[in-house]
Amino acid sequence: MIEMKDVWKTYSNNVKAINGINIKIKKGEFVYVVGPSGAGKSTFIRLMYREEKATKGEIIIDKTSLSTIKEKHIPLLRRKIGVVFQDFKLLTSLSVYENVAFALEVIEEAPDMIKRKVMDVLDIVQLKNKARFLPSELSGGEQQRVAIARAIVNQPDVLIADEPTGNLDPDTAWGIMDILDDINHRGTTVIMATHNKDIVNTIKKRVVAIEGGRVVRDEIRGTYGYEA
């Protein structure tokens, strides 16, 4: 369902971030993306949700080619792909409920559906009891769970997470992994860039290692493979 064919990305400052990547990710997979800092992991991920355009090559998401997609169809693509970041990116003046509902309001979902869908995803991330809280009233792990709820409330086919546990202590990080695993078991493809060696080596999944903008390793049940 996600395919990259000979994809290259050179930034405007001439940095060659991705240098000829070929990869296929099937529906329902869980993929860790690992590699040293500056290897190109974030660029690889940003190409998938069309935050960056490839310089060369073809990226296909669920039969849609990102090189020929019309600007007006990008919002539809983004609905198929939920994204979670290391720094949560919540709206600080909105409550937990409102942060999640916002993703549905922008697509003009019916009000009664919004309420149901928001409470359903807050249940998945175990934050129903904190729906009225502001992000500043939550722990880091809770804020990341709100970000995950927001990312999945449109029922995307793919959830992309760029170092989702990067700002969290180890115990909290494991809690986030439980939730991502749960979401994956419900059928969503999960792609997670991470430096968390313990998690990758314990919860075994497909591991794609990127170095110098190329895939240097791709293992079905892989290991982290670097010093933490």
Residues lying near ligand ADP in the complex (CB under 6 A) are found at 11, 13, 15, 17, 35, 37-43, 137-142, 172
**Distance between CA 64 and CA 51 in Å, rounded?**
15
Question: Taking a C-beta distance cutoff of 8 angstroms, is the pair 28, 46 a contact?
Answer: no
* φ, ψ at 190 (rounded to 5°): -120, 130
Residue 109 CB coordination number (10 Å): 18
**Pick 65 or 139: Cβ nearer ligand ADP:** 139
**Pick 34 or 158: Cβ nearer ligand ADP:** 34
**Pick 138 or 148: Cβ nearer ligand ADP:** 138
Beta carbons within 8 Å of 42's beta carbon, 6+ residues apart: 162, 193
Looking at residue 132, what DSSP letter applies? T
Shortest Cβ 73–ligand ADP spacing (Å): 23
Shortest Cβ 63–ligand ADP spacing (Å): 26
Shortest Cβ 176–ligand ADP spacing (Å): 11
**Pick 37 or 68: Cβ nearer ligand ADP:** 37
Residue 58 CB coordination number (10 Å): 14
Shortest Cβ 92–ligand ADP spacing (Å): 13
